[in-house]
Structure 1
Amino acid sequence: MHNAKTAIFYFSGTGNTELIAKQFADALRSSGQEVHLFRMEDVLKDTHSVKYESYNLIGIGHPVLGFGASGFVERFVEQLPDCNGTPAFVFKTASSPHYMNNGASNTVLRSLREKGFTPFHNSILAMPCNFYIKYDDRLNKQLYLVAQRKVKLFAEEIVNEIPRNLRIHPVLERVLRTVYYCEESQGGKYFAKGLRTTASCTRCMKCVRSCPTSNITNSPDGIIFSQNCLLCMRCVYSCPQKAIQATRLKASVVDPYTGGPKLHSLMKDSENDGRFITPKSKGYYKHFIKYLED
């Protein structure tokens, strides 16, 4: 698949998946491919038009939200035009490389096959957690360093058409899919009902402009949060004034969050050695060892 023209479509809540999408683009370009990056919300909102027929390889990238890809990503894939065997690869970012996240892209993969695409490469990259658990900054840096290495490996596999699969027991997948749909349909609404802006809000409108589902609007009475929320946390973490606060599921907000764009600062921090998990790590972090060493 050398010299392919590739389109990578991605959704990123707090920036982790966007960083990985750009890493994939750079790695594929270094192999001689022409690569175009598209944010899914730009395509769905008709901000960018795409000539799908001009690409002979597509990539789909998304974060794992509650063991799934989110209905937003699924809707994007459903609007793709039918094709006749165009190869596709899927990558996802998650706070953990745990087996339970392996099936997060399966609904997307099934939709791609129904559209006539041929997905052959499915991968997962562990990145900083942005929900409930605050990772040590040494771990955040360690995960990003490893993700960069793995993306180069995965890109080489994609160029050489080497398949990669992630397996999960079908019964467990069905259970987790139910959890995921409940979290998105009910958890997102519950969380959004509790979002408030503080007095430090400057009405810069960044949250209004950047919300992928157009869930946030400006009104004479202030910023209004509706219930079409993905729980992607973009508005909370990207607010320049930190003026958006959660009054429900308050513990879910990681403070400070040093993933996404802030990883660039961690990479430049010479005092952060990026060595948090070791072969001797135990407890929750033990399951990262094999992922980091592969």
Structure 2
Amino acid sequence: MKIEYFVFSGTGNTLLIAREVGERLREKGHEVNYHMIGRNNSFRMSGDSVIGLAFPIAFFSSYPLVLKFIASLPEGRGKKIFMTATMGGSALGAEGKFRKLVRDKGYKPIGSELFIMPGNYNNGVIPVEKNSQLVSAAKEKARAFADRLEKGSAAWGRGIPVIPSMWYKLISSGRSLRFFYRMFPITVDKEKCIKCMRCAENCPVGAIDGSGEFPVINRNICESCQRCVAFCPAHAIEVPGKPAEQYRAMEFEEFSR
């Protein structure tokens, strides 16, 4: 197989799993190419390639950026596709919704897997041992999923469609994310900020203006993916009045390679 693997990751959880799946497939002799989902996407798909999607489950769906990416995929014409998604708890039927989305685009779903990973939000104290156990179990699950993909025995779960379609329309509109931002309004602490502008350069939706002395987050664009929070070298991006430990699944150098 030749796999074109499209990945969106905020704090590194999803990228870690996608790389685990991809490396296992490479061990089996398959070609795997990674593409990060962002504002500007290009679709390199040869006729015989298999498409992989990797993204976080957010609000029992995913971020508007991810939903727009899936909507912009070219017609599948029977091309095979699989999905790996990370989450902090339950997906409440999102698996089946994404299956329908790709089928409606003409793709053939061949497998999906959901992975519970460490939480990104509001960690007063990072539960190091628990997180280590979650990551270890998720990596093992990722390798097993890759083996099933390679053998052709993977399946795309339908899930239980608990959440109605109207909810997905609300998610894709960005309204729910703006509501979330009002609850957790991440801002830049100017006393801590070292003005490196890493946050502005790496925001996947261009929500951070780095043209001034300090970066400024546009709450009408921000999708609360937590990438800026996770990879700020000075831990200068946080929710005022809600101190939390910084979480990331990997260091920035590993994330950006």
Tell me whether the two structures share a fold, i.e. TM-score over 0.5. yes
Is residue 36 of structure 1 aligned with residue 33 of structure 2?
A: yes
Amino acid at match of 1:152: R
1:83 Cα deviation after fit: 2.2
Structure 1 Cα separation of the partners of residues 54 and 142 of structure 2: 12
Among 211, 235, 246, which residue is 2:239 paired with? 246
Larger Rg computed on CA atoms: 1
Among 38, 55, 72, which residue is 2:65 paired with? 72
Among 37, 40, 45, which residue is 2:40 paired with? 45
Match of 2:87 in 1: 94
1:101 Cα deviation after fit: 1.2
TM-score of the superposition, structure 1-length normalised? 0.76
Whether the 8 Å CA contact 2:60–2:91 is kept in 1: the answer is: yes
Amino acid at match of 1:245: E
Whether the 8 Å CA contact 2:96–2:158 is kept in 1: the answer is: no
SS of residue paired to 1:59: strand
Judged with a 3 Å threshold, the aligned counterparts in structure 2 of structure 1 residues 95 and 165 are, in CA distance, closer, same or farther, namely: same
Structure 2 Cα separation of the partners of residues 137 and 176 of structure 1: 37
Match of 1:137 in 2: 128
What are the residue-to-residue correspondences of 1:160-199 with 2, within 5 Å?
160-170=151-161, 172-174=162-164, 177=167, 181=171, 182-188=175-181, 191-192=184-185, 195-199=187-191
Is residue 26 of structure 1 aligned with residue 23 of structure 2?
A: yes
Structure 2 gaps, min length 5: 252-257
Is residue 156 of structure 1 aligned with residue 151 of structure 2?
A: no
What are the residue-to-residue correspondences of 1:114-129 with 2, within 5 Å?
114-129=104-119
Structure 1 Cα separation of the partners of residues 157 and 74 of structure 2: 26
Aligned pair count reads 246
Match of 2:94 in 1: 104
Amino acid at match of 1:33: H
Structure 1 Cα separation of the partners of residues 132 and 169 of structure 2: 30
Tell which deviates more after alignment, 221-230 or 178-187: 178-187
Structure 1 gaps, min length 5: 263-294
Whether the 8 Å CA contact 1:200–1:241 is kept in 2: the answer is: yes
Whether the 8 Å CA contact 1:189–1:229 is kept in 2: the answer is: no
1:225 Cα deviation after fit: 0.9
Whether the 8 Å CA contact 2:145–2:154 is kept in 1: the answer is: no
Structure 2 Cα separation of the partners of residues 101 and 24 of structure 1: 20
SS of residue paired to 2:181: helix
Among 206, 210, 229, which residue is 1:214 paired with? 206
SS of residue paired to 1:37: strand
TM-score of the superposition, structure 2-length normalised? 0.86
Among 146, 152, 175, which residue is 2:137 paired with? 146
Deviations 1:114-147 (Å, cap 9, x if unpaired)? 2111112121111111123555211111111111
Whether the 8 Å CA contact 1:94–1:124 is kept in 2: the answer is: yes
Match of 2:5 in 1: 8
1:207 Cα deviation after fit: 0.3
Structure 1 Cα separation of the partners of residues 155 and 102 of structure 2: 16
Whether the 8 Å CA contact 1:24–1:155 is kept in 2: the answer is: yes
Amino acid at match of 1:197: D
Match of 1:272 in 2: none
SS of residue paired to 2:250: helix
Among 249, 252, 256, which residue is 1:260 paired with? 249
Amino acid at match of 1:9: F
Match of 1:230 in 2: 223
Judged with a 3 Å threshold, the aligned counterparts in structure 2 of structure 1 residues 233 and 21 are, in CA distance, closer, same or farther, namely: same
Give the structure with the larger helix fraction. 1
Whether the 8 Å CA contact 2:55–2:66 is kept in 1: the answer is: yes
SS of residue paired to 2:46: helix
Deviations 1:63-109 (Å, cap 9, x if unpaired)? 1112111111111111111121111111111123xxx4152344432
SS of residue paired to 1:261: coil
Match of 2:255 in 1: none
Judged with a 3 Å threshold, the aligned counterparts in structure 2 of structure 1 residues 189 and 113 are, in CA distance, closer, same or farther, namely: farther
Match of 1:270 in 2: none
Structure 1 Cα separation of the partners of residues 73 and 167 of structure 2: 22
1:224 Cα deviation after fit: 1.4
1:184 Cα deviation after fit: 1.8
